[in-house]
Structure 1
Amino acid sequence: MAGRITAVSIVDAIAADLRSRIFSGELGSGHTLTETDVASSYEVARPTAKASIEKLVAEGLLDRGTHKTARVVELGPDSVRDIYLARAYLESEVLRRLARTRDVPEAAVQANRDIAALQTGAPLDVIEPDMRFHTSLIDAVGNERISRMYRSLVGEVRLCMVRIQSLHLLDTALIQAEHQKILELIEAGRGDAAAELLDEHLGRARERLVAAMGGIAGPEAGARSELLPE
């Protein structure tokens, strides 16, 4: 039996390719994308190019003022903290709710297994299963609006992750270990403890990235974990 084929519009296909090039670093912070250039590169009409650009503007990957050229967003320390604070609000409450029913989503378990298998691989390979781990927890609540709210952050979160991994700011083994502990706390019904560990998990990444961007890191950057040996 043939597999299901999903039709993708030209606008979505172009946006997906541009998104991939942004995440890979090919289109770096501040890179300009004009409608004319996009139309020429992909051999499409300017309205199609414009729609593709606007799709990425809506995702937070491109910044475009009125009558101005779109640019790949340049995240600074304040932006990074805003992104991670929004994540923490959503994810912490989700962990508490999952812990009430001790619901450990299999998709999150598998994502963490995939991270464990990548411990000796390229740092950037961690991004996809790491993001899948967190989105699986969000989706497990079964609330469409919460999932949609979280996905509105995904583009900017991935940009942060690309910077973190490309700069080797976090140890993959620690990411996997803290994910595993979060799952164990959910299964034990300890929602507050899971949320507290999540804050530490996200805070370490956030503040190390802030420091790498030239900002003043908070104490979370140097927080030591008991989950890994010295």
Structure 2
Amino acid sequence: MSTSSDRAAVAVERFGTTYAEQAGIRLKDKPAPLYQLLVLSLLLSARISADVAVAAARELFAAGYRTPRRMAEASWQDRVDALGRGHYRRYDERTSTMLGDGAQRLLDTDRGDLRRLHERAGSTRQIEEGLREFPGIGPAGAAIFCREVQGVWTDVAPYVDRRVSDGARRLKLPAGADRLAGLVDREQLPRLTAACVRAALDKSLTVD
């Protein structure tokens, strides 16, 4: 019988690609990739498939909107067009507005650098609250950001929300944050939580 560690390793190998990796974000504790993760978290928050959200993020980044300055300087229509190329059409106009407003807010409050938000926050809860001040980022978007960023903002780890726990149970893994995190090396935790999220969303995924 396989151990929980074995099952976790299989899950990471089979479907542990993070959404940031899928979107082409080389996540580091630097302003540009952190902002790109914020954009991706916003796109993933909508009631739309994750693949479409990722495709839309890739189109925005390919168009050059990789920093809040470039996003804010882009026209509303240019952002709509990039979202459309990623087939993010149902929410494209509203999302274009939120992207522009959010980029400007980040420039105005933290000089475009989410590390300042991190430095101010005394807890993960305060990070979540700070993220939710951006247009379009609600509890789901803040959770997506924290799940993915915990590999570089290590004080956030282990970040295991309800969706991760649900997926962990489906994979017959422990659902508690500390026990789940103990199954893999620290740098693999974002991939394990990503695998659990994918298992929660797609019932066909299994490690059997």
TM-score of the superposed pair, with normalisation by structure 2 = 0.27
Higher relative contact order by CA 8 Å / sep ≥ 6: 1 or 2? 2
- The structure with the larger Rg is 1
The normalised TM-score by structure 1 is: 0.25
